[in-house]
Amino acid sequence: MSALIAPSMLSADFTKLADEVRMVNQSEADWFHIDIMDGIFVPNITMGFIVVKAINQLAEKPLDVHLMTVHPERYIEQWRDAGADHITVHYEACTHLHRVIQQIKLTGARAGVAINPHTPVQVLTDIIEDLDLVIIMSVNPGFGGQNFIPRTYEKIRELSSMIRSRGASTLIEVDGGVTVANTAKLVEAGAGSLVAGNTVFNSENPKETIHLLKNAALQNNQKR
């Protein structure tokens, strides 16, 4: 089974957003990845409920919503109502992380936690069994188009080992700097989902690029 591919809508052309959504629908992508930024937790502001609802009206695949915001617990239900199938909050933004995870699950959404590049995976030891997914940030959050941080490979391996040792089924997602060239190595390390923004939307043929990402991940699995 290949890794999941989640094009990041942050990199889409918002002047033709409906066309971009339809392209992802028609591609081999598995999820829509949607980055929500508040200008406080990260130095950027992106989309709100109205835009996510609009995407959801056209989307034929799950919405993977990544909250890069302070106090994410204030709006969990609203993001679910907007169409989020998965809701991921940042470890660094939650004082009462376990409570927020339970809040997400009560809405019926899958619950995830993201960790920044400087945050060790060991902080998730006491909650890993409760998580449906973990996003390992492979760039500093806030902007697309950044260079991949190589230390990410080791963090994926460390987290994968933790998940196996605890008998959990948590999915590892990697967000930032994902390319066709590093896909196989990410999957080999233990990644099960890959977020790709500029790689997809800045390419001449986004559907073909998604195919290449999917194929690179699949070939790696066949070698195991």
pLDDT digits (tens, 9 = 90+) for 159-208: 999 999 999 999 999 999 999 999 999 999 999 999 999 999 999 999 99
CATH 3.20.20.70 fits 4-223, yes or no: yes
Amino acid 173 reads E
pLDDT digits (tens, 9 = 90+) for 3-49: 999 999 999 999 999 999 999 999 999 999 999 999 999 999 999 99
How confident is the model over 114-122, as a mean pLDDT? 97
Instruction: In whole angstroms, give the CA distance from residue 207 to residue 210.
Output: 5
pLDDT at 137: 97
pLDDT digits (tens, 9 = 90+) for 83-93: 999 999 999 99
pLDDT at 218: 80
Higher pLDDT, 104 or 217: 104
Token digits for 16?
A: 């033709």
pLDDT at 222 over 60: no
How confident is the model over 207-220, as a mean pLDDT? 89
pLDDT at 223: 46
Token digits for 176?
A: 């930032």
Q: Would you give the end-to-end CA distance of the chain in angstroms?
A: 11
Tell me the whole-structure pTM to 2 decimals: 0.95
Token digits for 216?
A: 């690179």
Active site residues: 35, 175
pLDDT digits (tens, 9 = 90+) for 54-87: 999 999 999 999 999 999 999 999 999 999 999 9
pLDDT at 144: 64
Model confidence at 146, pLDDT cuts 50, 70, 90, reads confident
Rounded-to-10 torsion of CA 169, 159, 171, 168: 10
> For residue 116, what are the contacts with CB-CB under 8 A and spacing of at least 6?
90, 91, 92, 137, 140, 141
Amino acid 74 reads R
pLDDT at 54: 97
Q: Report domain extents, the chain.
A: 4-223
